[in-house]
Amino acid sequence: MKSVIVRLREYYNEASTTEKEIVKYVIKHPEETSQMTVYKLAEKTFSSPASIIRMCQKNGFGGFKDFSKALIFELAMRSQNQSAEKSEITKSDRIEDIIEKVTYKNIISLEDTKNLMDPETLNKSIQLLINSENICIYGIGSSLIVAKDAQQKFMRLNKHCSVSDDWHLQLLSARNMSDRDVGIIVSYSGQTAEMIECANTMKENGVKIISITKYGTSPIVEICDYNIFVAANESTFRSGAMSSRISQLNVIDILYTGFANTQYEKSLQLIAKTHIRKGNN
């Protein structure tokens, strides 16, 4: 089921003036909106039914009925799984408060990312990885940590996978790829100049690209063939890339597990074979 609140919140900056009023109303009054007809919502937001339907379709819904069903489902899930919204980190917070708030933020990021996931996109991405000759993964900063985690996981399954710490080497790798390879770009913002250059280079070589990025429009989203979105709900300390990194690592775990599950018995054997014993264990 497609998320409503998460998608609209992240769509807001690129929405038209009319759409902004609709988005603001839905986010502020989700319960009331879930009970409305398209005509009533148009009246409340001083818009038109056609504008509302277009906005729904831009965000991946078939129309207003699909939008309403998804909203009702999401509200039901949130009432079961979420407590009241937690505040941001403040200067006066004790370590007990920080434990609670950071953990809560990560949980919400994972839940919102789950709501953004499209099974069809994930299945096609996994199939691309299975059929590829090589997987080349790209990321800088905190995204490089995610890229290295992916490399370690896929190599456990005997899938050739490369990552470089140096951006210039990443660009050289992109230039040497062929249409038999697959690229994975990890970029939370989707606007990192180095990643855009690598993506454009891969496209020139006919390479299929999977992105792991924030939901919304960005240069990376426009370039890549398959986009796997994570929620944009970073905390005050955004430079630490905390909850986004947790969500990106979760996406890698899903791709890895889906890949392994296509050859279940063989994967179990490979995982056992590539286990590195430590000490006397």
Task: Tell me whether the CATH fold assigned to 1-83 matches the one assigned to 119-273.
Answer: no
pLDDT in tens, 58-113: 988 889 999 998 888 778 766 655 544 455 777 888 998 888 888 888 888 888 88
pLDDT of residue 157: 94
What residues pair up with 187 in beta bridges, in sequence order? 213
Using left for φ > 0, alpha for ψ between -120 and 50, and beta otherwise, residue 143 falls in alpha
Number of H helices, E strands in the chain: 14, 5
| Contact of 171 with 201, CB cutoff 8 Å | yes
Going by CATH, does the domain composed of 1-83 fall within 1.10.3720.10? no
Which residue in 106, 111, 86 sits closest to 97, CA to CA? 86
Instruction: Give the CATH class of 119-273.
Output: alpha beta
List the Cα angle 179/183/188 in 5-degree steps.
150
pLDDT in tens, 117-142: 889 999 999 999 999 999 999 999 88
C-alpha to C-alpha distance for 119 and 135, rounded to whole angstroms: 21
Residue that has been written with the tokens 């309403």 in this structure: 68
Question: Which run of H or E residues covers position 266?
Answer: helix 264-273
- Residue boundaries of the structural domains of the chain: 1-83, 119-273
Residues in the chain: 281
DSSP classification of residue 46: T
pLDDT in tens, 138-178: 999 889 999 999 999 999 999 999 999 999 999 999 999 99
